[in-house]
Structure formats: structure tokens, C-alpha cells
Amino acid sequence: MKGKESKPHIGIFGRRNNGKSSLINFLAEQDLAIVSDVAGTTTDPVKKSMEIPGIGPVVIIDTAGIDDQGDLGKLRINKSMAAIKTIDFALLVISNNEFAAPEKLILSELQKFDVPFITIHNKADITKLDYDLAEQLKLEFDVEPINFSTLENYSRDDLVSIIRKKIPESAYLSKTIVGDIINQGDLVLLITPIDAEAPEGRLILPQVQAIRDILDNDAIAVVCKEREVDTLLKRLNPEPALVICDSQVFLKAGASIPNHIPLTSFSTVLARYKGDFQNYLKGTPHLSKLKDGDKILILESCAHQTSCDDIGRVKIPRWLTNFTGKNLEYQVVSGLNDVPGEITDYAMVIQCGGCMITRKQVISRLKPAVDAGIPITNYGMAIAYMHGIYERAVAPFVKIDRDSLDYL
């Protein structure tokens, strides 16, 4: 369930025929989801961008029934469960006073990934919520189910108000990429190589996002390729307040940009913007501690056409092997696909910038490694570390403990 939308992601879970799709249509006040009396109409998680009056723009993820049957049904349930890692908020839909193993499994996963939720007892026009069940859920799970029906005279506005209050504010916040370290009128230089990996006729998403963020903060963006940096610096007046470069030219940029001018990379600013930045800071120095035979997990967040000089599949493994002098094994996983084997099989996880997915998806993607104590880092921070300019790359954002930097 990939998604580059920054708007809140809401997942809807429940058994087949509990009225999940009807609830989506009711909230959106339009027919967006297919409604049928046939159990299992929704067979796979379906993502829908929509406007919910009273809430605003959201991404709804409509999932298959958690009571699906057969081998195919198990696969559908697994996909529904996997969607939990990608969402900011959940609606657990029950009906007919049924609450058993499937619902408990959903609750367990929601709590595991710290996803706030509400429980809706739907179809109350047919069967009202049983008092004993409501008390049981409150005592055992601290859950207060909402008795509801899309067909009777239940208030849509009241339900929307409850959802709006429960969705975490972090799901709506659009953090600035660099706005908190630049001022109005500052000049920011962006160094963007145009190589075999550059898309035809356009810039890559992190570069576009950085430009937009600079403009949104009333600063000035100047863009050039790495070959023009030295000449451009002689002509710029005033000099840049900040320089952001592509990770692949970090070494050249570090040599060209005077030390008094802050320098970082697109991948590093994305690591802070939507990654697990604090754990990246802790994990990056472990690149110096890798041993022969260690397995390195490289996580790409999008599926893209690879080239002979691919950053994640070719350059980082080559640089890391040369940096450590060790015989390392590499595993690349694209998109949000499952990681082969156990996370404890890996000595290090290197995550891309995550420009194509949400912060929640990045955090959830890395959570198994963090929980298992596996060091994590990201492309830009790893590249800066291996090239000896890590301290400079993160300096615009944090004060570094020099004692922790083994490469110095």
C-alpha cells in the first residue's frame, strides 16, 4: 500500500458484510465504494483519495474482510493486516455483536504500531449493541464502541466529530523541510546532477519538494549541476545561507562549498522530514563496526527502473564494501514488500529518503529493526559518513557528539 499523499491515511477493518464500504460512502456523502450483500465484495485493500466533509482530504484504505476463508482468504487477510503499518488512524467495524479472534487480532496490531482507532458497531438498525459486550470491550480493551447505522437516524456529524478528535494532529501537520533553518530572503543553493538515473525532462521528487519548501518559506532557490558550482559561487551575492546537494556528489560539494556555509543533502533533509532521524543518528556510526559476512538490508521505497549505476543497488554496496574492507552481503527490497527472512538476520538497515511514501510508512517500515536493536541509517547519511563528511551533513540540524564518530 504505497502512497505519496501526505494527507491522513485512514484504514477501515472488519468482517465481511459488516458494512465497511457503506460506511465509506456515508462518510464521504457519495458512492465511492462498491456495496453488495455478497460477502467478500472487497477482496484486496483499495486506496481512495477523497474529501470527507468535516474532516478534509484523506486517503481511505478499504480492506478485505478479516474473516475471509480458504487459502486465498488468508492471503487477503494478510494484506489487510499489512495495511495497518501504513495508516494514521483506523475504524474497526463490527456488527451483530460479534467480537472474537479476528477483531482481537486487529486490535493487537493497531496497538503494536501505535495506531489510534475507534470501534463502530454498525447496522444498529438491525441489531443494537449489546450492553454486556460494550462493558466487556471497555473492561478488557479500554474500547468504547459506537452504536451506529448508515440507514437509520444516527448523526453523521457526531461520528465525523469523533473521528476528527481521534485522528492524531501529526497526521495533518505538514512539517517544513528546511523552513526552520532558513530565513525570509535567504538564498539556498541546490546542486542537482543530471545523470543516467535522472528522469527525462524533470527533477526527482526530493528536489521538487525542497524547491517548493524554500519558496513556501519566502526564500530564494538557485539550482545548478555539480559542474557549475565553483563558477556559480564566485558570482553569487549574497552567498548561500544553505546548500543542499544530491548524495552522489556530496564529496565534490564538500570540497567546493566553504566550511562556513551549511551543507547537507536531499536525502538527509528527507531523513529528518519523514524518517526516523534520531535512530538514524544513533545507527549511522555502526557502519564502522560491520564484520565479514554481515548482511545489509537496503530498503527502497519505490519500484523504479534500475540502471548500471543505481544508487541503492550498485553505488552504496560498492562504497560500503570499499569503506569497511569487509566481505558483506546485500539484500535490496523495493516498495513496501516483505523483508526476506528475519530482521535479526541483518546487521544493518539502510533506508532510502522515502520521498514516495508517508512518514508513518517509513517509521513502520523500520520499526521491526528498531525494536530488535538493529542499527538503521538512510542513504544520504550513510553516504556522507562513508565519505567522511557526515558531521557536516547533519550539522545544520543537530549538534554531533564527536566521540561517537568512529571514522574521524
Mean pLDDT of 323-338: 92
35 domain-assigned: yes
178 domain-assigned: no
Task: Domain of residue 134: give its range.
Answer: 9-171
Judge whether residue 41 has pLDDT over 90. Answer: no
User: The CATH number of the domain where 288 resides is what?
Assistant: 3.40.50.11410
User: Do 390 and 284 share a domain, yes or no?
Assistant: yes
Mean pLDDT of 300-310: 62
User: Do 89 and 205 share a domain, yes or no?
Assistant: no
User: Do 239 and 286 share a domain, yes or no?
Assistant: no
Distance CA(33)–CA(26), nearest Å, equals: 10
The last residue of one of the domains, among 268, 292, 326, is 268
User: Do 142 and 24 share a domain, yes or no?
Assistant: yes
User: Do 294 and 251 share a domain, yes or no?
Assistant: no
Res 308: pLDDT: 47
Judge whether residue 257 has pLDDT over 70. Answer: yes
User: The CATH number of the domain where 153 resides is what?
Assistant: 3.40.50.300
What letter represents residue 232's amino acid? L
User: Do 151 and 13 share a domain, yes or no?
Assistant: yes
Mean pLDDT of 257-264: 94
Which tens digits make up the pLDDT trace of 347-401? 999 998 887 777 888 888 999 999 999 999 999 899 999 988 899 999 998 865 5
180 domain-assigned: no
Res 39: pLDDT: 46
Segment among 103-112, 265-274, 277-286 with least mean pLDDT: 265-274
4 domain-assigned: no
Contact 248, 226 (CB under 8 A): no
User: The CATH number of the domain where 192 resides is what?
Assistant: 3.40.50.11420
Structurally, the chain folds into a number of domains equal to 3
Task: Give the DSSP H or E segment for 233.
Answer: helix 229-235
What's phi and psi for 252, nearest 5 deg? -65, -40
Res 212: pLDDT: 93
Q: pLDDT band at 46, cuts 50/70/90?
A: confident
The last residue of one of the domains, among 121, 139, 171, is 171
User: Do 207 and 283 share a domain, yes or no?
Assistant: no
308 domain-assigned: yes
Which tens digits make up the pLDDT trace of 93-120? 999 999 999 999 999 999 888 899 999 9
User: Do 15 and 159 share a domain, yes or no?
Assistant: yes
User: Do 332 and 217 share a domain, yes or no?
Assistant: no
207-213 LR contacts (CB < 8 Å, sep 24+): 207/246, 207/266, 209/177, 209/270, 209/355, 210/177, 210/178, 210/244, 210/266, 210/269, 213/176, 213/177, 213/178, 213/179
176 domain-assigned: no
Contact 92, 14 (CB under 8 A): yes
DSSP notation for 243-311: EEE-GGGHHHHHHHS-TTS-EEEHHHHHHHHHS-HHHHHHHGGGGGG--TT-EEEEE-SS-----TT-I
C-alpha cell at position 35 = 456495496
Res 2: pLDDT: 34
363 domain-assigned: yes
User: Do 61 and 118 share a domain, yes or no?
Assistant: yes
70-82 and 101-112 helices cross at what angle (nearest 10)? 30
296 domain-assigned: yes
Sign of the dihedral defined by the CA atoms of residues 343, 345, 347, 349, in that order: negative
Strand bridging mode 56-62 / 46-52:
antiparallel
Distance CA(250)–CA(72), nearest Å, equals: 48
The last residue of one of the domains, among 245, 268, 291, is 268
User: Do 251 and 323 share a domain, yes or no?
Assistant: no
User: Do 77 and 119 share a domain, yes or no?
Assistant: yes
